[in-house]
Amino acid sequence: MPPLDPMLLSMRGITKRFPGVVALQDVSLDLCPGEVLALMGENGAGKSTLMKILGGAYLPDLGQITLDGRLVVLHDTAHAKQAGIALIHQELMLAPNLDVAANIFLGNERAAHGSGVVRVHGAALGNGAAPGDAAKSVSRTLGAGLMRSLPRSAMRDRAAELLARVGLRRSPDTPVSALSAGQMQMVEIAKALALDARIIIMDEPTSSLTFGETRQLFKIIQSLRSAGIGIIYISHRLEEVLELADRITVLRDGKNVGDLDRSQATHDKIVAMMVGRALSAWFPERPEQPPGEIVLEADSLIVPGAPAGVSFTARRGEILGFAGLVGSGRTELMEVLFGARRALGGRMRLGGIPYQPRKTRDAIRNGIYLAPEDRKRHGLVLPMSIAQNVSLPDVGNYKPRWRLGLRQEARAAALEMTRLRIKAPSASQRVVNLSGGNQQKVVLAKWLAMRPKVLILDEPTRGIDVGAKAEIYRHMAELARQGITIIMVSSDMEEVLGMSDRVAVMHERRIVGVLARRELSQERVGMLMAGGDARK
């Protein structure tokens, strides 16, 4: 554990009200130099509001903030950055049309009078080099209103130093659009270091990272910790928190619940503090049932890029889990089932009848629906309302006499909101304003309104809190009880073991084993995922 004195950050008695709601009430938080503090809580617990106050986006109604023992008032985000506070959002704030170097210094251009030297937090950047294409778009007013481009050569050199520090082996000239999600995360951290940040807030930093990228991020966090930088780490992934955090602060309903040291923290303790109850029923009880008839069958199905055919069956009323490492081909296989990709060979049968979707419309017409891994990009139209999203896949049935039946649309949406307990004032609420858990429920709602035969759920609980997860699991169990066939892809081992009747394990785009519920264990599934023999 880092030493408790001196305190890097102290937030005391923070209260924030919005019209009709108290978002935070008398909340306190401490952070020591070189400490990783996990901030935990369900969606709506107040984590984001508290961090926006620390990041200068909001002013608290009550309470005070001290840095290094000195009282500060963070009037805006620029003031917070000057104080050494950097916030890395879950939705990365990078400009894809600019290169890495330009992104690192974008919004952090410090002009100095006189010789036209630009300083970025103490790093002198001379202006003798010809600016590159990206740097041309990054300029500041110097002196008496003169516009001068940031010097390209020195900017690249400083960016290269920062990239080396975070372990990203890419040129500063690389367009951000050419980077993976993990590499973009590294650029965000380099951007924070360019600010001389002493406090870095990471909001769900691994939500879109591969296993390898996650391990690289953890190494960087350890390096930042060793350099005395305080890190506030927000995540719904309890296993990450238990591995990384020196201490855990838990919020519930806008109030402090308590702190846990690393030595005290367990999965069950954190969950109980977050939701106010022990989750002994984390996964719903599902008595083992005799298998129903085969609904969907794949025989030697060749997925693009796969070395061999894939074969499996999915039965009525069953939850068939698909496990595998990132890149094992699970999502690609689901897209073939849904008609978003074309199979290169093999056969499928749906209810005993040949099934060969050429496009997603064919799958939808046959009652096979996909809730995709990235709900914001592929599952929802965020600016539209709940009602509009629910009706969108089946909009033709909401058009009596060539006009959209708004009342019928609203009734259908309200029915699904009640069934799935979607928390929103009405069906006219825009989806972009919902929490992650409620957005995921809207994805389910639009398909449930169409009575699916097969419902494919790709990472159904990614990025949502434990309470919302438990609700999603309850709905999945109820749908299976009603006879719907559910195919679930998940990277969460606990989820795979807790919800699946059978688990198909993929390795290098092949199914290497199918385990019944009585055969399931973390060791056996993990062995198959790595390409080993689960019988050993």
Write out pLDDT tens, residues 21-57.
788 999 999 999 999 999 998 767 889 899 999 999 9
Does 416 have pLDDT greater than 50?
yes
User: Is there a contact between 190 and 165 (Cβ–Cβ < 8 Å)?
Assistant: yes
Provide DSSP, 468-526. HHHHHHHHHHHHHHTT-EEEEE-S-HHHHHHH-SEEEEEETTEEEEEEEGGG--HHHHH
Identical topology for domains 9-110+153-275 and 293-367+452-536:
yes
For the chain, the structural domain boundaries read 9-110+153-275, 293-367+452-536, 383-450
Superfamily designation of domain 9-110+153-275: P-loop containing nucleotide triphosphate hydrolases (3.40.50.300)
> To which residue do tokens 């999203």 refer?
389
User: Is there a contact between 86 and 201 (Cβ–Cβ < 8 Å)?
Assistant: yes
102: left (phi over 0), alpha (psi -120 to 50) or beta: alpha
Tell me the C-alpha distance between 517 and 521, whole Å. Answer: 9
**Is residue 216 within a helix (H) or strand (E), and if so which, with residue range?**
helix 211-226
26: left (phi over 0), alpha (psi -120 to 50) or beta: left
pLDDT of 4: 45
Around Cβ 345, how many Cβ atoms within 10 Å?
A: 10
pLDDT over 70 for what percent of the chain? 86
- Residues 379-399 pLDDT 10s: 888 899 998 888 887 766 656
Cβ neighbors of 245 (< 8 A, separation 6 or more) are 36, 37, 38, 233, 262, 265
pLDDT of 419: 83
Spatial CA neighbour of 531 closest among 327, 303, 299: 327
Q: What is the mean pLDDT of residues 7-17?
A: 94
**Is residue 65 within a helix (H) or strand (E), and if so which, with residue range?**
strand 62-67
Task: Give pTM, 2 decimals.
Answer: 0.60
How would you classify the pairing of strands 139-142 and 146-149?
Answer: antiparallel
Spatial CA neighbour of 32 closest among 189, 296, 304, 231: 231
Q: Hey, what are 321's tokens?
A: 């889990």
Mean pLDDT (the chain, rounded): 82
Does 204 have pLDDT greater than 70?
yes
The CATH number assigned to the domain with range 293-367+452-536 reads 3.40.50.300
- Residues 317-364 pLDDT 10s: 999 999 987 778 898 999 999 999 999 999 999 999 999 999 999 999
339: left (phi over 0), alpha (psi -120 to 50) or beta: left
C-alpha 462 chain-centroid distance: 6
Say which residue, 130 or 489, is predicted with more confidence: 489
pLDDT over 90 for what percent of the chain? 36
**150 band by pLDDT with thresholds 50, 70 and 90:** low
